[in-house]
Amino acid sequence: MKTIRDLDIENKKVIIRCDFNVPIENGIIVDDTRIKGALETIKYCIKNNAKIILMSHLGRIKEEKDLKKNNLAPVAKRLSELLEQDILFCDKTRGEELEETIKSMEPRDILLIQNTRYEDLDGKKESGNDPELGKYWASLGDVFINDAFGTIHRAHASNVGIASRIESAIGFLIEKELKALNTLNSPERPFIVILGGAKVADKIGVIKNLVTKADQILIGGGMAFTFLKAKGYNVGKSLVDNDNIDFCKEILQKYPDKIILPVDFAVTNEFTNDEEYREKTIDNISDDEMGLDIGSQTTAMYKSIVLKAATIIWNGPMGVYEFEKYKKNTDELLEFICNHNIKTILGGGDTVASATKLGYKDKVYHASTGGGATLEYLEGKELPGLSAIK
């Protein structure tokens, strides 16, 4: 895979597709991790005297009212503070003002273009990879760097549209993501996968791909109940993905020693944080109960398994992590892993958010910046954002 180091960027107009999709509340950036993640590539371009044109999406744009809250202006301000340099900001995604600004740029100048998804208001031009838009954006630069890992599983005008038209490479952030995820192709063993979250359907591809590589897969979250129902247990009112019971049966039959299921759960009668915390073993769940977290026996069992692991990948929480009471076992297991120096990759989304909140993000080998992208990579799928560069 061609990286930024392989390109001659001296005095060139370098378009960098960043992932500045940061949480913004009332115009204030609540978490700037993603902006900081882009700095290495940007600084490299400054050092190499490039004229730097940054692009990113922010949120989703479906109607006029989405424009204001997804304006990238606060990102330009934060970036300017982090780089201690003025950042040019163009409020438009195309047009004369943008073209004139680019023409006037000197080496080391940095321009941030408005949210690429502003183009979605008019017929989903960005998300639909409109060829005319991709061609136009490509015409603004000499070379293209894709450094937005979170969108490489999508073919958008701001990644595939540009990459397929001008000389392209990946930036340092994507390089780091791929390097970390590629270690899973020949992992140090035992290699343990931890999978949680809501639906089996979302993780089928990952299970199919990783079950052949992993030594064990520890299942938690809502997903566990579909597997347990497939084994004949009564799971009460717990979340069950009925369409995938057969898939679970098949996997359990084929890999009986690899798929490890919870033995107990924190249960409630309703989907709420308000009931008293109580646990039940899997053979004791009644018809009017549902499991909202793995239980303490399961957590202890999972700890003893991960203690022997040399490599771990974890995607998805063990319980309803949004409820204070039912994030307990996810946090406890995460804390345990982080304190035991095991080479761990957190596969994006909720798991990384938990680690960040607990202050453990920097203790893991890698915390992926892409949720969907990470999952699709782990499924072994071809990712359009990368193929366009190859």
In 3D space, the residue among 142, 139, 92, 137 whose CA is nearest the CA of residue 114 turns out to be 92
Alpha helix positions (H), 140-270: 162-163, 172-182, 204-210, 223-230, 245-254
The DSSP string of 88-146 is EEES-SSSHHHHHHHHTPPTT-EEEE--GGGGGGTTSTTTTT-HHHHHHHHHT-SEEEE
State both tokens at 289. 């109960």
Range list of β-strands (E), the chain = 13-17, 24-25, 28-29, 51-55, 88-90, 110-113, 143-146, 167-170, 191-195, 216-219, 259-260, 264-268, 278-281, 290-294, 311-315, 343-346, 366-367
In 3D space, the residue among 252, 253, 224, 247 whose CA is nearest the CA of residue 236 turns out to be 224
User: By C-beta, is 115 or 268 nearer to ligand AMP?
Assistant: 268
**Smallest gap, in angstroms, from Cβ of residue 35 to ligand AMP?**
24
User: By C-beta, is 285 or 306 nearer to ligand AMP?
Assistant: 285
User: By C-beta, is 171 or 291 nearer to ligand AMP?
Assistant: 291
User: By C-beta, is 224 or 389 nearer to ligand AMP?
Assistant: 224
Q: 199: buried, middle or exposed (CB in 10 Å: 19+, 13-18, 0-12)? A: middle
**Smallest gap, in angstroms, from Cβ of residue 323 to ligand AMP?**
8
User: By C-beta, is 37 or 222 nearer to ligand AMP?
Assistant: 222
In 3D space, the residue among 191, 261, 273, 258 whose CA is nearest the CA of residue 226 turns out to be 261
Q: Please check whether residue 204 is in contact with residue 226, taking contact to mean a CB–CB distance below 8 angstroms.
A: no
**Smallest gap, in angstroms, from Cβ of residue 84 to ligand AMP?**
37
Largest CA distance in the chain: 71
**Smallest gap, in angstroms, from Cβ of residue 210 to ligand AMP?**
15
d(CA 203, CA 215): 18
User: By C-beta, is 163 or 207 nearer to ligand AMP?
Assistant: 207
The residue sitting closest to ligand AMP, measured at its beta carbon, is 197
Neighbours of 200 (CB within 10 A): 28
Binding residues for ligand AMP, rule: CB under 6 A, are 196-199, 202, 221-222, 239, 291-292, 316-317, 319-322, 349-350
User: By C-beta, is 170 or 240 nearer to ligand AMP?
Assistant: 240
d(CA 104, CA 100): 6
**Smallest gap, in angstroms, from Cβ of residue 317 to ligand AMP?**
5
Distances (CA, A) of 47 to 9, 43, 106, 265, 375: 10, 6, 13, 54, 34
**Smallest gap, in angstroms, from Cβ of residue 316 to ligand AMP?**
4
User: By C-beta, is 111 or 267 nearer to ligand AMP?
Assistant: 267
Query: Hey, is 292 helix, strand or coil?
Result: strand
**Smallest gap, in angstroms, from Cβ of residue 282 to ligand AMP?**
13
The catalytic residue positions are 34, 199, 349, 372
Stated as kind and residue range, the H or E segment containing 330 is helix 328-338
State both tokens at 242. 């009925």
**Smallest gap, in angstroms, from Cβ of residue 262 to ligand AMP?**
10
